[in-house]
Amino acid sequence: MNARTEPALLSQLSNRHLDALEEETIFVLREVAAAFERPALLFSGGKDSLVMLRCAEKAFGAGRLPYPLLMIDTGHNFPEVTDFRDFRAKELGAELIVRSVEDSMARGTVRLAHPGESRNVHQSVTLLEAIEEFRFDALIGGARRDEEKARAKERIFSHRDSFGQWQPKAQRPELWTLFNTRLAPGEHFRVFPISNWTELDVWQYIDREKIALPSIYYTHRREVVERKGLLVPVTELTPPRDGEEVVTRDVRFRTVGDITCTCPVESTAATAGDIVIETLAAEVSERGATRMDDKTSEASMEKRKKDGYF
């Protein structure tokens, strides 16, 4: 990330559009509560799901969330994030359901090609098992269209067939605020209330609403190695390879996910306001700058979504 930090850039920003984005998100969250019998809100403890949670509080009132929170845990998540997830759910008094990829591995429904394989892609299996277990008919997610091109073409109300699969060529039209929420037995919807937000919008909203986040979103010192243009955090799961030099840098995470595929960026941003300024100057998308799993092919995300991914 380009670390331009000119405070003068802030004077060019307006927060007026945030009210319209918030209003749309609240409308969609209420529409889900009204149209579906067993919805759930996907909650990782990341910034996008925390923004949705703030909008849900405004939609229904603090402590009155009408659906549970659902987390699909790979077992390889950053502890700062899972600790914050548990803290926030308890603070809100919300029901938190956690289902684990490790449990799917124990059942034999997930089989790794080798012990070091990333579990990220296998979350789809555990997610579909959770949908079947709880008979969820709508899952609310924090994906945004500006993150990645497969997400850019997905609808706010995204239909999934009885196999949990997304069919890009069979998406339902969305005209104004009219959504087709009809379902056949076994089908469900993925709903993305912040589809129309950008990364900059999210950080402006976090700054305006003073939303608390896991600490790793802000600058901290961390050991990393440079690999394929990314900074890979040095952990037990991602050790340095032969010939790689371990260096300590000031970094922060633009997105949080499985440790095996999520990378930090260099940054000295210590507040949401600092990150707003950095984001104004960013030339690489959030996932393009941080996610190894999106670099396997041009269509890697679309393939995962067709298979049932978030």
Phi then psi for residue 247, to 5 deg, are -130, 155
DSSP 228: T
Report yes or no: 162 and 211 within 8 Å, Cβ to Cβ.
no
Binned at pLDDT 50, 70 and 90, residue 3 comes out as very low
- Digit-coded pLDDT (tens) for 266-285: 999 999 999 999 998 887 77
Report yes or no: 275 and 135 within 8 Å, Cβ to Cβ.
no
| Percent above pLDDT 90 for the chain | 72
Which residue do the tokens 């087709």 mark? 180
Secondary structure class of 192 (helix, strand, coil): coil
Phi then psi for residue 70, to 5 deg, are -125, 130
What kind of fold does domain 14-201+298-307 have according to CATH? Rossmann fold (3.40.50)
- Digit-coded pLDDT (tens) for 154-178: 999 999 999 999 988 889 999 888 9
The tokens describing 9, both together, are: 């850039």
pLDDT of residue 291: 62
For 283, how many CA atoms within 13 A lie in the half-sphere containing its CB? 4
Average pLDDT over residues 69-85: 95
pLDDT, greater one: 4 or 148? 148
pLDDT, greater one: 99 or 287? 99
Tell me what the pLDDT averaged over the chain comes to: 90
H or E segment at 50? helix 47-60
- CA nearest 39: which of 243, 173, 189, 245? 189
| Percent above pLDDT 70 for the chain | 92
Binned at pLDDT 50, 70 and 90, residue 10 comes out as low
pLDDT of residue 265: 94
Dist CA 129 CA 119 (whole Å)? 15
Rounded to 5°, the CA angle 59-254-218 comes to 90
Which residue do the tokens 């997930």 mark? 110
- Digit-coded pLDDT (tens) for 55-73: 999 999 877 899 999 999 9
